Each structure stands twice: as structure tokens, then as C-alpha cells.
Amino acid sequence: MAIEFLEKLLSLFTGGTDSESEKRRQLKQIARDITKNKYKFYKVRGEEVQPIFAKLFYDIYKILSPAQVFLQNADKSNQLKQIVIETFLDKPMLDLQERLSEESIKERAKSTTIKDLAQQLNSDLTNFIAGFDGERSNAIDRCYNQILTFVQLVNFDYFFLLKKFDANISERNFTYKPQFEPIRGEYISDDIKDFLEILYAIDFEQDWKQAFAALKNYKGVEVVAVDQWNKLVNVFRDLKRSGIFELMVRHIDKNPAWLPKPNIPNEYILDAYLQKTRTQVEVLLQQLVQERRNAKIDELAKLIFGTSAVSRLKNYTEKANVTFQKKMLGGFIHIQGLNYLKAFLLDFFKKDIRELCDLLLVRGQWSTNILSQQLSESYHEIMAISEKLITFDDSLADDGDMGGRLRIAMAKADRDKEQVKYVRTLLKGINDEALKFITLSAQNLIIIGKNLKQVLEDYQRNPHELIINWKDIENSSEKPIDQRITEIYKVIYYFVQLMQFFVKQEQIPGQ
């Protein structure tokens, strides 16, 4: 107790608490350390930073300023990330990367089915991703973060700092000979702290060859000469060992406990790269599927109609979709398939197919009613669909029943969210009806096609089993009956194939 009392009494005479006394003692020691330090950047008496400090940063600036131009936004560059990753790829990995390129995939697609190509790409992707084991992955991230520390060093605002010592200095102009003047330490304390955040984030013991090789590939030139970088590394190492910058900040800020906080990048770039690679392959494969689908649709349409540009609908159209798409409502989604269906019904079913079916069903004497009934039912079902399709399309006109509802609801949609829901409900019903027309027509055409094939086989064998009066039918036909059935069967066959692209496979059973 007596000792504590004496210490408190002593503090009254010395003018402060124990902590304040210790702080003053530490600051005096810091001042002595600065005075003894080999780097004479700071004059304790007067608390001034000397021109030699500015000269050091001016020399650093001269070496790194070209890299400031080269590495603008480098820390945000996806290209740089890719280059860093590719720096660590060996020959087998580079071969796999090439196989996954757009050019390679398109070339392979010329001689490979989409199914086989998809299996190959899946195998290539699996092997490529597996190649990035823990060691390779860590090396990639380590190199990229090393580059980021270098970019931080390059992008430090040396010009802003130097201008405090010489207001006449110009940015990246090294023909001017600067006249640096001493300045108060408080004016650059924050600058020194910012620089130490960068300096202490850099591991100068690492091998910088791969980092600089990646940067050279990124910009096509060396961003900094190797000998100059090695010179800087030696300077930075010595500055860190001396601790002069930390001593200056502690003395200027009167904070003996201050410690620099390194800004160490910790980026992981591999996951995003691999996901991008996977996505690019998947998107390209989907494009190839779509291209082949479109090519096959065009081919079938030309075989059937003589052209792929078929337009028969008046209101269920892409033109009508413009209004819906402006409000993100999707619109009509079965336009192409329904157009082909209506064209087929008008150009073939109501002419050649109807004439042939009438000839077979009316003139023909069938040995059994089962097959003729199947043919008759499917024929009349499609005839009914043809009429319904015309009514359906007409109803979508502005003055039609469904078109009027859509028009009124769309006019109110901006003010009433319930009307938006109502439009979506109407569109779903309309699209479901369109798909139903396509599906039912395809199903019934398959039945007609199968029956026509059996009828043709019956005509070509002797004795006939299905139809017993082929002579009468022949006499009523303007051209050979077998040729007529074959031509119509072929058209139906192509058209059913075409319709398969517009409905799910399981919706057309019995193929």
C-alpha cells in the first residue's frame, strides 16, 4: 500500500498517470531509434519528413509508373484470371482445354451425333476438373494473390504523395527535376500507413517468375524490368527490416502501440473459371442441338411444303406477341407448330388426303369394319380439328371473343396486378389449346398413316384381304392407286416427324 501511495504521489509531481508516463517514455525511445536508424527520412526535432524520403518514393514511382498504365483495372480482369490459371496447365490439361473450346466442339459436331458428343464432353469436363488437384489449385490462387499484391503496390498514389513535397511535379513526367522540401509529418502519416498496408502484404521471399510470366502474357510486354524489380525487392526488404516507416508513424501520431495492418488479398479464382467453362460447354451444346433441330425442321418443312417459311395463322402470331413481350408475359408459344399444322390441313388434308379417304371409305368394300372404322374416326377427328383451329384463330382477333378479353385485360394491366394474372391465365389456356390441336392431329395422323400402309400392302398382295373391290377403286381414281397412297403416306410420315419437334415425344404414342 505504501509503495502504491508513493507511486501516486510521484505521478502528481511528474504530471500524469502511469500509462501517460509510459507512453512518453516509449515515444522518447522511438525518437532515439529514429535518430539511430540508417534511414534519415524524419527529423524528430520539428517532426519533419525530409526530402530524401520523397526521393525514395520518386525512384519507386519511376520504376512502377509504366506498370500503372499497363495494369489499369487488372484486379478486375477475368482475362488475367484465365491467363494465371492457364500458366499452371500441363500438356494433358492443355489438350483437354482445347477439346472443350468452341472451335473444337463445333468441328467434332460435324462428324458426331449430339448424344455421343454430349457424352464425350461430359468425360472431357470431368477429367479437366479433376486435373485441378489441391496442389495445382493452391498454386493458382497463390500466384493470383501475389499478382494482386503487386498491382496494389503499382497503384499506390505515388504522385499524390510526391506533390506534397513539390507542388510543381507532374504525373509520370520524369524529365522535370523535382525540388523536394521538408514537410510536417502529420501531412503524410496516412500515406505511410496506406503504403505499409501494401508493403506488409507482399511476400518478397516468393518466386515471382510465374506471376510476371502471367502478367507478360496478359499485356504482351514486361510490366516491369526484372533487374529493376529485383532492385526494388532489396530496398523493400531492407525498409521492412529497419522498421523506419512504423517508427515514423508512431512518433508522428504519438501512438507507440500502432501496428500496420497488411491488406492481404485472398481470392479464389478457380471455381468461377471452372463454372464458366462448364456453362460455356453446356450453352454451346444447347446451341448445336437447337441448330440441328432448326435444320431438321427446315428440311422437313421443305419436303412437305416446298419452303420453310409457312404462315397461315392470322392472329396467333409473333406480331401479336410484341405487346405481351413488352410486359414480360411470354405470349403465344406454339406459333411455328400451329402454322405448319394449319398449312398441312389446308394444303393436303382437305384436298389429297380427304379425296383418298373418301375413295377408300365410300367406294371401298372392307372385309372387316374394324380397320375402316379406325381410319374413318381419325379422318373425321382431324376434319373437326381443322374447323376448330379456324375458329380458335379467329377468336383471337381484337373483335373476337378471346382477343377482346386479352385486349381489355392488357389495357388495365399497368394499373391492376390482378389483370396481369388474368392475362397469364388466358394465355395458358390459349397455348394449351394450341398444343392440344398439334398433339391430337399428330396422334390421329399416325393412325391414318398406319392404316394407309396396311391398305397399300393389301393392294400389293393377292388375294386381297382388307378391301375386296380394288378394281372399282382403281376405276374411280385419276392416277394409279398405289402411287397415290404412297405419296400421301410419305407426306403424312414427314409431317408426323415434323410435329414431333413441337410436342413431347410421349404425347405422340404408337410410333
Mean pLDDT per 10-residue run, the chain (511 residues)?
A: 48 60 93 95 95 97 93 92 94 95 93 92 95 94 95 95 95 92 96 96 89 93 90 94 96 95 93 94 94 93 92 92 83 94 94 92 88 91 95 93 90 84 92 96 95 93 90 90 94 95 60 42
Cβ burial 10-26 (10 Å sphere, 16+ → b, else e): eeeeeeeeeeeeebeeb
402/394 Cα distance (integer angstroms): 9
- Per-residue pLDDT at 11: 53
135/143 Cα distance (integer angstroms): 12
Per-residue pLDDT tens digits for 25-76: 999 999 999 999 999 999 999 999 999 999 999 999 999 999 999 999 999 9
- Per-residue pLDDT at 291: 92
Burial class from Cβ neighbours inside 10 Å (0-12, 13-18, 19+) for residue 154 reads: buried
Element (H, E) at 149: helix 134-155
Bridge partners (DSSP) listed for residue 42: 49
Other Cβ atoms less than 10 A from the Cβ of 319: the count is 9
Strands of 131-237 (E only): list them: 183-184
- Per-residue pLDDT at 442: 95
- Per-residue pLDDT at 150: 95
Per-residue pLDDT tens digits for 173-205: 899 999 999 999 999 999 999 999 999 999 988
Q: How far is CA 11 from CA 26, 59, 71, 72, in A?
A: 17, 48, 57, 56
Q: Which candidate, 147, 160, 246, places its Cα nearest to that of 201?
A: 147
- Per-residue pLDDT at 505: 45
- Per-residue pLDDT at 17: 56
Edge-to-edge strand list for the sheet holding 48-49: 42-43, 48-49, 183-184
Is the bond leading into 463 cis (omega within 30 degrees of zero)? yes
246/261 Cα distance (integer angstroms): 11
Q: Which candidate, 302, 306, 353, 340, places its Cα nearest to that of 487?
A: 353
Q: How many residues does the chain have?
A: 511
